[in-house]
C-alpha cells in the first residue's frame, strides 16, 4: 500500500488494518451466523475469510499498480514539458540570432533597407 508521498506505507500499519478487517469479519458477521445456524461449518467461514482477504490483497495490488502508473505518466508529462521548454528556448535563440544578423546588415547597407521592409 502506498501513502500520500507515493512510498510504501509501514508494514505494521498495513498488518494492523488487515488484522482489524479480519477481526471484524470473523467476530461480527460470522458470530451472528453461528448463533442462527449452529451447524454452519467452521471451514466454510474460514473459506469466506480467505476469499475476502485475497480480494483485499488483489485490490491493494491494483491500487499500488495504479499509483505507479500515475507516477510514470506524471514523469512522462514532465519530460515532455521539459523537451517543449528546451525547444522554445532554441527557437528564441534562433530568433535573436536572426534579429542580430538583420541588424548587422542594416548597419552596413542601410540604403537597401527601409522601415517598410526590403526594397
Coil, strand or helix: which one is 3? coil
The predicted-structure confidence for 10-22, as pLDDT tens digits, reads as follows 667 777 777 777 7
The predicted-structure confidence for 72-106, as pLDDT tens digits, reads as follows 999 999 999 999 999 999 999 999 999 988 888 77
Q: Pick the more confident residue, 103 or 35.
A: 103
- Euclidean distance between CA atoms 106 and 21, whole angstroms: 80
- Give the model's pLDDT for residue 72: 94
Count of alpha carbons within 13 angstroms of residue 86, beta-carbon side = 6
Mean pLDDT, the chain, as a whole number? Answer: 77
Give the pTM: 0.43
Please state the φ and ψ torsions of residue 117, each to the nearest 5 degrees: 130, -165
Amino acid at each position: 500500500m502506498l501513502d500520500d508521498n507515493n512510498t510504501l506505507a509501514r508494514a505494521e500499519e498495513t498488518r494492523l488494518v488487515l488484522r482489524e478487517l479480519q477481526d471484524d469479519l470473523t467476530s461480527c458477521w460470522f458470530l451472528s451466523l453461528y448463533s442462527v445456524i449452529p451447524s454452519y461449518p467452521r471451514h466454510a467461514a474460514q473459506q469466506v475469510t480467505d476469499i475476502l482477504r485475497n480480494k483485499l490483497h488483489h485490490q491493494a495490488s491494483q491500487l499500488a499498480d495504479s499509483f505507479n502508473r500515475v507516477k510514470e505518466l506524471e514523469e512522462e508529462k514532465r519530460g515532455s514539458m521539459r523537451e517543449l521548454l528546451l525547444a522554445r528556448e532554441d527557437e528564441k535563440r534562433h530568433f535573436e540570432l536572426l534579429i542580430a544578423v538583420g541588424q548587422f546588415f542594416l548597419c552596413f547597407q542601410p540604403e537597401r533597407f527601409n522601415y517598410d521592409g526590403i526594397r
